[in-house]
Chains A and B, each alone.
Chain A
Amino acid sequence: ETGVTQSPTHLIKTRGQQVTLRCSSQSGHNTVSWYQQALGQGPQFIFQYYREEENGRGNFPPRFSGLQFPNYSSELNVNALELDDSALYLCASSRGTGSSSPLHFGNGTRLTVT
């Protein structure tokens, strides 16, 4: 069983640029959630995708957007990067959205904005 894979593992961008992060969900999982983890903090929910539609969003501005593809993989796009966007971005997949569907996290993409 293949776990959640994220790419790239590390990325350096300049303030104002745009970035796309990618996630392949675990086999058999149809739901993808994205989290932002600042250094020394717990992850913060960005949004979730289920059946290619956004199914819940945290307190993040519209410049954070996402997509889910028919094969359940997903992208996180961030426009107009700010220094505070520097963080570890985590993707998590699950089989469905209910409480009986634990989240399985990837190892994240470390984004540095200079």
Chain B
Amino acid sequence: QQQVKQSPQSLIVQKGGISIINCAYENTAFDYFPWYQQFPGKGPALLIAIRPDVSEKKEGRFTISFNKSAKQFSLHIMDSQPGDSATYFCAASSGSARQLTFGSGTQLTVLP
């Protein structure tokens, strides 16, 4: 019940295209859903996060869509750039310890 399932495992997009990564969860106690970006040799960096009381959040080219009834959320990267090439992780948490449960990651490659 603690799992967060992420797809696809890898994604190749042309420059200027839209990258879409999906995640699904089972634990209805989750109340915080962040997305992290990780470059090789670096730690994950927070991109954007959402709570279940809103259905969409946009920050620049990054948008989270959240479907509480389906227990799914997704990351959309608009106008994808080669510099966006990285591994993206969705995550979820609940409780005061802010224990993040991560998805398995999506390796995004944006072709020039």
Q: Which residues of A contact B (CB under 8 A)?
A: 4, 31, 33, 35, 40-45, 48, 55-56, 58, 90, 92, 94, 97-99, 101-108
B residues 9-45 near A (Cβ < 8 Å) are 31-32, 34, 36, 41-45
Asked whether B97 is an interface residue with its Cβ less than 8 Å from the other chain, the reply is: yes
Interface size of B by CB at 8 A reads 27
Asked whether B66 is an interface residue with its Cβ less than 8 Å from the other chain, the reply is: no
Asked whether B95 is an interface residue with its Cβ less than 8 Å from the other chain, the reply is: yes
List the B side residues contacting A104 at CB < 8 Å: 46
How many A-B Cβ pairs are below 8 Å?
66
Cα A93 to Cα B44 in complex, Å, equals: 12
A interface footprint on B70-112 (CB within 8 Å = 1, 0 otherwise): 0000000000000000000101010111111111110000000
Q: What would 15 more interface pairs be, CB under 8 Å, given A33-B100, A94-B98?
A: A31-B98, A33-B98, A42-B6, A42-B91, A42-B102, A55-B96, A55-B97, A56-B99, A58-B99, A90-B43, A97-B96, A99-B31, A99-B32, A107-B42, A108-B43
| B31, B91, B97: most-surrounded residue (chain A CB, <10 A) | B97
Q: Contacts A48-B99, A99-B31, A101-B98 known; A42 to B46 CB distance under 8 Å?
A: no
Q: How far is the CB of A43 from chain B (nearest CB, A)?
A: 5
Q: Which residues of B contact A (CB under 8 A)?
A: 6, 31-32, 34, 36, 41-46, 49, 51, 89, 91, 93, 95-105
Mind listing 30 A-B residue pairs with CB under 8 Å?
Answer: A33-B98, A33-B99, A35-B100, A40-B105, A41-B104, A42-B6, A42-B105, A43-B44, A43-B102, A45-B100, A45-B101, A48-B97, A56-B95, A56-B97, A56-B98, A56-B99, A92-B43, A94-B98, A97-B96, A99-B93, A101-B98, A102-B34, A102-B46, A102-B49, A104-B46, A105-B36, A105-B43, A106-B43, A107-B43, A108-B43
